[in-house]
Amino acid sequence: MTGFLDNVLNGLALGAVYALVALGFVVMFKASGVLNFAHGSLLLFGGYLIAVLHDDLGFAGALALAVLATAALAGALDRFLLQRGGLDEQSAHIQTIVTIGIDILLFTDLARRIGGDLLPLGDPWGDAVTELGPVTVADSRLAAIVVSTVVIGTVFALFRFTSWGLSLRAAAEDLEAAALMGVRLGRVRAGGWALAGALAALAAVFLASFPAPGLERTTGQIALHAFPAAILGGLASPVGALAGSLLIGLTEALVVGYQSELHVLGEGFGDVAPYAVMLLVLLVRPTGLFGGKGAARV
């Protein structure tokens, strides 16, 4: 039973981190209609900055700077590259492929700098653990759950209560109508991207801290698991991203936890389990759990 609780708690922590990344996908998608394939590299960029800067600035300073820098990079990428391709829905598909090119550029450069190294981020949790009744959890996991909850709550509040959030929701509903109502699409979009970038840099901290050995070049690829999480919930739905992330995190943790019982599926199935779950969901609901039906118009 403790084994089960361990796995569930691990799954929740993992899901909380995926939620940071998946929420980023959703914010960017709502703002621009673009699915950002460069998100993993943005995450790696944030993590790399923290790893390089934490000796000089301390962890908090490095984190703050990395979050700001990643947000600025993401916002600039959208404002100065993607938006050149147009703001309408048709060009959003093309821009999705542009982000693949951006990802190749960013990842190649970061991977070249990181090489085969494992970079510590200097986070304050280290490898400390806490006893919670019968189960033992790593502090970094608890921090992941707490920080993610707070941050995600803040993002939802931003959506709900600020004028930027209102503009974003209006733009996602109907681009032209929003533009006619005086929403500055370009700015709102870039703002969404910047927010997503900040979330990615934050997620990098938890993906690279204990029990992971540190930041490596493949850390960004782990963020790919947030793809199924975002799709599963329905790309345009923040709540869906949250639900999808928890589902994916739990699935992954449970599959890894009960690997010996699930031997038929082969070793390392935990890594691909999110995708299997996503395919099953898409078979039943082609636009995700919380995705709208979308009426066809001619």
Partner 1 sequence: MSDRLPGALTRRPARILLLAVALCLPPFYLDAFWLRIGLFSMAAAIGAVGLSLLSGTAGQLSLGHAFFLAVGAYGYAYLAGEPGPGLPPVIAAVLAVLLAGAAGGLFSPVAGRVKGIYLGIATLALVFLGHHVLLTADSVTGGFNGRSVPPLELGGFAFAASDPELVVLGVPFGAEERLWFLGLALFAFTWFTAGGLLRGRPGRALAALRDSETAAAVMGVDVARHRSAAFVVSSMYAGLAGVLLALAFRRVVPDYFSLALSIDYLAMIVIGGLGSVAGATAGAVFVTALPLLMTRYADQLPLVAAPGSTEGAVGPTEAARYLYGAAIVLVLLYAPDGLHGLARRVREHLRRRRPRTPATDPVPPPPQPAAAARPKEHTP
Residues in contact with partner 1 by the rule CB under 8 A: 35, 81, 84-86, 93-98, 100-105, 108-109, 112-113, 115, 224, 227-228, 231, 235, 266-269, 271-272, 275-276, 278-279, 282-283, 286-288, 296-298
Is 236 or 242 the residue whose CB approaches partner 1 more closely? Answer: 236
Q: Is the backbone peptide bond immediately before 211 cis, with ω within 30 degrees of 0?
A: yes
The helix/strand count (H/E) of the chain reads as 11, 2
CB of 110 to partner 1, least distance (A): 11
Is 202 or 241 the residue whose CB approaches partner 1 more closely? Answer: 241
Phi-psi region of 90 (alpha: psi -120 to 50; beta: other; left: phi over 0): alpha
DSSP 285: -
Residues in the chain: 298
Nearest to 186 by CA among 25, 35, 78, 93: 78
Nearest to 74 by CA among 87, 64, 83: 83
Is 36 or 167 the residue whose CB approaches partner 1 more closely? Answer: 36
CB of 93 to partner 1, least distance (A): 7
Pairwise CA distance, residues 223 & 21, whole Å: 7
* Alpha-carbon distance values, 228 to 263, 264, 276 (Å): 23, 23, 9
The amino acid sitting at 204 is A
Pairwise CA distance, residues 37 & 74, whole Å: 12
CB of 115 to partner 1, least distance (A): 6
Is 12 or 200 the residue whose CB approaches partner 1 more closely? Answer: 200
Is 63 or 229 the residue whose CB approaches partner 1 more closely? Answer: 229
CB of 146 to partner 1, least distance (A): 30
CB of 157 to partner 1, least distance (A): 27
CB of 251 to partner 1, least distance (A): 13
Pairwise CA distance, residues 43 & 107, whole Å: 10
Is 106 or 183 the residue whose CB approaches partner 1 more closely? Answer: 106
Is 1 or 264 the residue whose CB approaches partner 1 more closely? Answer: 264
CB of 36 to partner 1, least distance (A): 11
Q: How many CA atoms lie within 13 A of 221 on its CB side?
A: 10
